[in-house]
Amino acid sequence: MSNELSTKTYNNFKNIVLNESPLIDVRAPIEFQKGAFINAVNLPLMSDDERHRVGTVYKKNGHEAAVALGHELVTGAVRAERINAWTHYMAHYPDAMLYCFRGGLRSELSQEWLSEALGRDVLRLEGGYKAFRQYLLEALEPSAQTSEPIMLGGHTGSGKTILLKRFKSFIDLEGIANHRGSSFGNHITPQPSQISFDNNLAYGLIQHREAGYRYMLLENEDRNVGRCFMPRPLVDHFNTGRLIILEESLETRTQITKLEYVREAQEEHMQALGLDDGMTSWANYIRGSINRL
């Protein structure tokens, strides 16, 4: 295989967002947990411990010594295991692209090994995670928004989210944050990290912009959605839009609140933990939420 094939890079980040392209993150698990991209899977070149040991050698003895240790740690059966994980994923997602933090040695080496194993070209992100992350952060700037925001407000249980989900131009902040936006808003699955929330929100805004919508429909939220928060300039931009208040009867609000915060929440816990443990988990969650009020 020619060297040209094993060093090809890709930097059309907009296409990655619009196509929701599959990505292989070869960073260590601890890096991935801090924040990653939609449709990215963590198949690391080095474990957390291996990365730590290489980093320690780099600080003490420099680049060459660190690279030598890296090759020593990821060799033989370990190397074969890592390559096998990549090839297995590529069998299902043949157009997947690799990235490490800066698009440097880790993704270059992974690209070389994977290309050799597959006998074909595999792309890596130019500039790696850092460059793609910067592109996404720029999409969160007010100047990057091209549609007029319209905010929908109303009391809890008014059915704001139910209504807004009927429109393709809706940016579902609660869905992106994996939170219902109230004191009892947690799902059984955790919220994304703040970095992942930023990235996921940017995906939504870019896809919205490229669809050419005239209006951006949003639920009237505080800056925080659970423990995730939006950039203040972006929130200020959203608040320049018109505010529409959705009014419903107390009876309807009670029915919707019961559905979302009781029945659907119970179902989440039972699906994850079974009937008895699920109901116990849900009851403990409600008690904890009340105690935090």
Active site residues: 100
Amino acid at residue number 38: I
100: its two tokens: 């490490």
Three-class DSSP labels, the chain: CCCCHHHCEECCHHHHHHHCCCEEECCCHHHHHHCCCCCEEECCCCCHHHHHHHHHHHHHHCHHHHHHHHHHHCCHHHHHHHHHHHHHHHHHCCCCEEECCCCCHHHHHHHHHHHHHHCCCCCEECCHHHHHHHHHHHCCCHHHCCCEEEEEECCCCCCHHHHHCCCCCECCHHHHHCECCCCCCECCCCCCCHHHHHHHHHHHHHHHHHHCCCEEEEECCCCEECCEECCHHHHHHHCCCEEEECCCCHHHHHHHHHHHHHHHHHHHHHHHHCHHHHHHHHHHHHHHHHHHC
Residues 73 and 71: their CA atoms lie apart, in Å, by 6
| Beta bridge partner(s), residue 45 | none
Amino acid at residue number 108: E
> Could you tell me if 176 and 275 are in contact, meaning their C-beta atoms sit under 8 angstroms apart?
no
